[in-house]
Structure 1
Amino acid sequence: MTRVQNLYEKWLQDPSIDEETKKELQSIAGQDKEIEDRFYKDLEFGTGGLRGVIGAGTNRMNLYTVGKATQALAEFALKNGGAHPSVVIAYDSRHQSPEFALEAALVLAGNGVKAYVFETLRPTPELSFAVRELKASAGIVVTASHNPPEYNGYKVYGADGGQLVPHDAEQVLANIQKIEGFDSVRKISRTEAEEKGLLEWLGGEMDEKYYTAVTSVSQHPDVIKQTSGDFRIVYTPLHGTGNKPVREALKRIGFEQVRVVKEQEQPDSNFSTVKSPNPEEREAFTLALRDAKEWDADIIVGTDPDADRMGAVVKDDKGEYFVLTGNQSGAIIVHYLLGSLKERGELPSNGVVIKTIVTSEMGAVIAESYGAKVLNTLTGFKYIGEKMTEFESTGEHQFLFGYEESYGYLAGTYARDKDAVVAAMLICEAAAYYKSQGKTLYDVLQELYRQHGFFLEKLESKTLKGKDGVEQIGRMMEDWRNNPPASIEGVEVAEVEDYSRGINGLPKENVLKFKLKDGSWFCLRPSGTEPKIKFYFAVKGTTGDEAANQLQGLVRFVLDRVEQ
């Protein structure tokens, strides 16, 4: 019997596994490929936690993989959380999110660790805020962000409110590896946990504190009050957790004309109106665009299911709706935020903007033009959060803004993760502010291009499922690492940054970045949570057409080689 088959049989015989799960496993008897995919490995606990397809098996999201991860986290909290360790738990609108959240709480309680659980679904950034507010030892969000409906996940946060960075995640992973069977996962009943004061429910009081923190970042409430009567916003929460908090933030800073896309307003685990609940994709805005055209809206904003990513759509110079990329929205917010601070004489001399290595240089150039320092981190907001916490203790820099090209932004120091609520508020505020000067955000973007150069970016990705896919991605990375191109389209490759060796004091990560002599670059990065490899491309031209041609050539060269 193979190791995989042995594990499959072990689950079927395990008395600690419920009958429903066993029935699901019995239904795939004889399906060797399916059994292998479910059992060939444990669902990986990466630096972001767990993420996978919901179902029975070691390589799936289920009560048992969640219980095992939580047992390991409980041990981490007991070791690092002082005399009274506690963990805050939030969850989104996905299948089994409430069940996974409660399971985690009961395992924590079974280990004597207090669990604070939000009574209904909440956005990820509010969890980050609550961990800090309650001075908890850790946090959990049950979400798979913008993945398809069959996925769920389990993100883990440290005491600073940021996702666990590698050295902490490694401690939790080491604890997981010591757990031999599900019978060693300690758990008590909900009644017992509540009676012992080890399970406490969070509600409106925490929401109120969070809204106060978010709206404190508002820059021009006076302008909003003047323009709010005729400034129209269409908003879609894409069936997720953003509906209440985004509307509340917009209302509190004075916006009156906000229309929510009716069909996407309520939580829906199947995200039935969209192919993917991802504000990075134009398709996700189909219904919002319909409403915006009908109502002649000034801006559309959309947030993903756990409300940590925000996408925006604005009118171009022909009055057509133009979808901003994450890089473009980031650059606009940097300009608006730093410009507003400068206007009021509040721009600190030690201000810092933090972005990731795969984010456009446009926002960096804008920030530097205002005299701010710009720092790069590895991909993942946890690294931006880590820098924020470092500067909070050293005072070396004052954090102004952090962002990544994948539609994640944070202004303010109340949280340590990207926040679509504050991002939606700021992009709408920026649009209203520039409208009062007779400009759209598209006009502002064109001004920034003319001033700083035409920056263009593109992201391509390739999904290669299963065990074979993972191996193929590994071979692809080795090929580029060992055989880097000398030139592309006649432009010399000036430098290859191999982040697996550790660069500029950053943690080691399997990422390759190729920098060309003309300032363009591309990057290969396997996903840490999905069987996917991402290809990032960026160029800078003196005109829009020049940049578009450069980008086309760069993308073609890289993808042709990948296909070969």
Structure 2
Amino acid sequence: MQDDLIAEARAWLAEDPDPDTREELAKLIETEDLEELADRFSGTLQFGTAGLRGELGAGPMRMNRAVVIRAAAGLAAYLCGSSQAGGLVVVGYDARHKSLEFARDTAAVLVGAGLRAALLPRPLPTPVLAYAIRRLGAVAGVMVTASHNPPRDNGYKVYLGDGSQIVPPADADIAGHIAAVGPLADVPRPEQGWDTLGEDVVDAYLGRSGAVLTDGGPRQVRIVHTALHGVGADTVRSAFVRAGFPAPVAVAEQAEPDPDFPTIAFPNPEEPGAMDLAFGAARAIVPDLVLANDPDADRCAVAVPDDTAEEGWRMLRGDEVGALLATHLVHKRAAGAFATTIVSSSLLGRIAQAAQLPYAETLTGFKWLARVDGLRYAYEEALGYCVDPEGVRDKDGITAALLIAELAAELKGNGRTLSDLLDDIAVEYGLHATDQLSVRVEDLSLIGAALERLRSRPPRTLAGLPVDSAEDLREGVGGLPPTDGLRYRLGGGAARVVVRPSGTEPKLKCYLEAVVPVADAAALPDARRQARDTLDTLARDLGTAAGL
């Protein structure tokens, strides 16, 4: 087996086009680092509805040029086999390590297969790529990004011609074509033949972004913004200034793209410590809001002043921002379907029902939300919001930032805040409090073991509430496609729990919701304490039941 492993590594080395990963792999072979080699050659990085995402490095279980070339060849074969030969594919990329190289390799493979390819002009946010697909009438798009993953990762996200991410069976079809790719030497990769788009595509996106706002609406709101070392700073600033807002105050230490993300452990505004520099800047200038984008700027985080918080600022949960944006759109008389995912708060359904708007729940991810018929607004609790589906049929952290800023400015003009509006929403619909128990693992088998434990020994009560129903999402529930996970409804609507493995990270995620009726504003403090106690006990009891 040792000889077979070394032979497999040598075969990979012989066709690896990247001198960096060739050197890396050659050293592993020379030192006979069998443990590391076994990890890198234990299988193949799997292409799915999230495309590809993984750690950079040599070998089939890492993100590298060889893996990307095969993925591009498989995508090209899928498109040509779907009567899309000669069609345009737009390729975008962020500022992570190897992103530009992966984008160029993709363009070369597509052109070599008889398709047309166009690169975005520079590292840009994912929403610009999603917008460009629809604007240019492309048959597909590729975004090279690992979004909010750790610095060592990169990824490969595929969109089809409607500007939304792939879903089954397209993912399996593309994966089949990737598996059929032969030696890399047989994959044509011309050195030229693709286009590089001009700044006009960015200008068009910026022009479209203002369409989410009300003409002549209030704009006087002061904002601190952090791009978390990603590619969003310039685009966000341009979008705000063009729309008539004061330019956001950038967190200087995190404004420029840096693939090493030197000031944060994880480039995700939800992670502890990620917002520390932004809050420091906010204490100095006292803005109305703090906004953050993840590195590819398809997500938006919002923080509001809070004297009771240690930093003086409180991060709003994605569900809270989702409810605020929904309420704002209802007041703007938006028409069309509102949608969210099964792991997000049930509050959006109540808002839509009260406004007599269609409402839909989908599986997790914008690849599903984007396909809701008549979609007007969608969000997921992981800080993703689609507020202009005709422009960007995916989550867009830039247009969401504009819309939340407009709402904050409107409230400010009336002497009110986002926190005040959240209180109003709780009184009108009941307090919907959410939280998450997230367990990161090194051994992926632990996730399967936890789910199997819950299936074989389902809990009868959680947080002192009876489990009214336990649904296995693998069986497909409520007309949804089957997916790995479990959903519990408790106490006659007093709580809900969804447990599922993450689609992009080695995590088991447990989504918790507590619903407490609120008679009036004076009852809110007690309702919040009750909800917090329920969420904490749900997390404890669920962790015990799952053996976490």
CA distance in 1, matches of 2:413, 2:437: 37
Q: State whether structure 2 residue 530 is matched by structure 1 residue 546.
A: yes
Q: State whether structure 2 residue 2 is matched by structure 1 residue 10.
A: no
Q: In the superposition, relative to structure 1, how do residues 352 and 301 fare at CA in structure 2: closer, same or farther (>3 Å)?
A: same
CA deviations on 1:404-455 (whole Å, 9 max, x unpaired) are 0000001112111100000111111111111111111111111211221111
Matched-pair contact (CA < 8 Å) for 1:282–1:323:
no
Matched-pair contact (CA < 8 Å) for 1:377–1:384:
yes
Letter in 1 for 2:321: S
Q: State whether structure 2 residue 371 is matched by structure 1 residue 402.
A: no
SS in 1 for 2:414: coil
In structure 2, the residue matched to 1:420 is 397
Q: In the superposition, relative to structure 1, how do residues 507 and 183 fare at CA in structure 2: closer, same or farther (>3 Å)?
A: farther
Choose which of 377, 384, 387 in structure 1 pairs with 2:362: 377
CA distance in 2, matches of 1:9, 1:528: 32
SS in 1 for 2:404: helix
SS in 1 for 2:432: strand
How many corresponding residue pairs?
Answer: 532
Letter in 2 for 1:267: P
Matched-pair contact (CA < 8 Å) for 1:486–1:493:
yes
The Cα of 1:127 is off from its aligned counterpart by: 0.7
In structure 1, the residue matched to 2:524 is none
Matched-pair contact (CA < 8 Å) for 1:90–1:117:
yes
Matched-pair contact (CA < 8 Å) for 1:233–1:297:
yes
The Cα of 1:17 is off from its aligned counterpart by: 4.5
The aligned runs of 1:480-559 (5 Å cut-off) are 480-519=454-493, 520-542=495-517, 543-559=527-543
Matched-pair contact (CA < 8 Å) for 2:459–2:545:
no
In structure 1, the residue matched to 2:279 is 289
SS in 1 for 2:322: helix
In structure 2, the residue matched to 1:329 is 321
The Cα of 1:505 is off from its aligned counterpart by: 2.5
Unaligned runs of 5+ in 2: 518-526
Q: State whether structure 2 residue 304 is matched by structure 1 residue 303.
A: no
Matched-pair contact (CA < 8 Å) for 2:454–2:546:
no
CA distance in 2, matches of 1:264, 1:238: 5
Q: In the superposition, relative to structure 1, how do residues 364 and 460 fare at CA in structure 2: closer, same or farther (>3 Å)?
A: same
In structure 1, the residue matched to 2:522 is none
CA distance in 1, matches of 2:135, 2:484: 34
Q: In the superposition, relative to structure 1, how do residues 318 and 20 fare at CA in structure 2: closer, same or farther (>3 Å)?
A: closer
Matched-pair contact (CA < 8 Å) for 2:89–2:117:
yes
SS in 1 for 2:162: coil
Matched-pair contact (CA < 8 Å) for 2:137–2:161:
yes
SS in 2 for 1:238: coil
SS in 1 for 2:292: strand
CA distance in 2, matches of 1:482, 1:434: 50
Q: In the superposition, relative to structure 1, how do residues 489 and 322 fare at CA in structure 2: closer, same or farther (>3 Å)?
A: closer
CA distance in 2, matches of 1:359, 1:521: 10
Matched-pair contact (CA < 8 Å) for 1:117–1:200:
yes
In structure 1, the residue matched to 2:238 is 248
Matched-pair contact (CA < 8 Å) for 1:221–1:254:
no
The aligned runs of 1:98-497 (5 Å cut-off) are 98-190=100-192, 193=193, 199-219=194-214, 221-224=216-219, 228=220, 231-316=221-306, 320-341=312-333, 347-348=334-335, 351-387=336-372, 391=373, 397=374, 399-412=375-388, 413-465=390-442, 469-497=443-471
Q: In the superposition, relative to structure 1, how do residues 447 and 317 fare at CA in structure 2: closer, same or farther (>3 Å)?
A: farther
Matched-pair contact (CA < 8 Å) for 2:16–2:22:
no
CA distance in 1, matches of 2:320, 2:470: 26
SS in 2 for 1:163: coil
Q: Identity of aligned pairs, percent?
A: 36
Letter in 1 for 2:166: L
Letter in 1 for 2:482: K
The Cα of 1:312 is off from its aligned counterpart by: 0.6
Letter in 1 for 2:346: E
The Cα of 1:248 is off from its aligned counterpart by: 1.5
Letter in 1 for 2:64: N
Matched-pair contact (CA < 8 Å) for 1:90–1:141:
yes
Matched-pair contact (CA < 8 Å) for 1:354–1:402:
yes
RMSD between superposed Cα atoms in Å: 1.7
Matched-pair contact (CA < 8 Å) for 1:128–1:139:
yes
Q: In the superposition, relative to structure 1, how do residues 360 and 18 fare at CA in structure 2: closer, same or farther (>3 Å)?
A: closer
Matched-pair contact (CA < 8 Å) for 1:220–1:429:
no
The Cα of 1:83 is off from its aligned counterpart by: 5.0
Q: In the superposition, relative to structure 1, how do residues 502 and 201 fare at CA in structure 2: closer, same or farther (>3 Å)?
A: same
The Cα of 1:148 is off from its aligned counterpart by: 0.8
Letter in 1 for 2:529: D
CA distance in 2, matches of 1:503, 1:294: 50
- When structure 1 is superposed on structure 2, of 83-92 and 328-337 the one drifting more is 83-92
Letter in 2 for 1:525: R
Matched-pair contact (CA < 8 Å) for 2:79–2:85:
no
CA distance in 1, matches of 2:382, 2:369: 14
CA deviations on 1:123-169 (whole Å, 9 max, x unpaired) are 11111111111111111000000011000000000111111111111
The Cα of 1:256 is off from its aligned counterpart by: 1.6
- When structure 1 is superposed on structure 2, of 264-273 and 53-62 the one drifting more is 264-273
SS in 2 for 1:241: coil
The aligned runs of 1:48-63 (5 Å cut-off) are 48-63=50-65
